[in-house]
């Protein structure tokens, strides 16, 4: 995966699950939190993420290219 890509997958980080680079926050947690009706601002605050991190997680989860 591209070193500058906001999502990383490494066997030694969260058992190889996709995470937001540098945070160890799994993409599934971000998507699940939004699906559970947390606001973007709440997710940003809860997990220390940026809007771009959240956007990257949603794009990745949808299988789209950044």
Residue 1 has pLDDT above 90, yes or no: no
pTM here is 0.86
Tokens matching residue 2: 């591209």
Please determine, for residue 2, whether its predicted confidence score (pLDDT) is greater than 90.
Answer: no
Query: What pLDDT sits at residue 5?
Result: 81
What domains are there in the chain, each with its CATH number? 7-61 (1.10.10.10)
DSSP lists the bridge partners of residue 20 as 7, 25
Name 22's Cβ contacts closer than 8 Å, sequence gap at least 6: none
Query: What does the pLDDT read at residue 3?
Result: 58
Q: pLDDT tens digits for 8-55?
A: 999 999 999 999 999 999 999 999 999 999 999 999 999 999 999 999
Helix (H, G, I), strand (E, B) or coil at 35: helix
């Amino acid at each position: 995966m591209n070193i500058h890509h906001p999502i990383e997958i490494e066997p030694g980080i969260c058992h190889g699950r996709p995470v937001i680079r540098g945070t160890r926050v799994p993409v599934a947690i971000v998507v699940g939190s939004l699906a559970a009706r947390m606001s973007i601002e709440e997710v940003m605050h809860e997990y220390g993420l940026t809007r771009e991190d959240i956007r990257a997680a949603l794009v990745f989860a949808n299988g789209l290219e950044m």
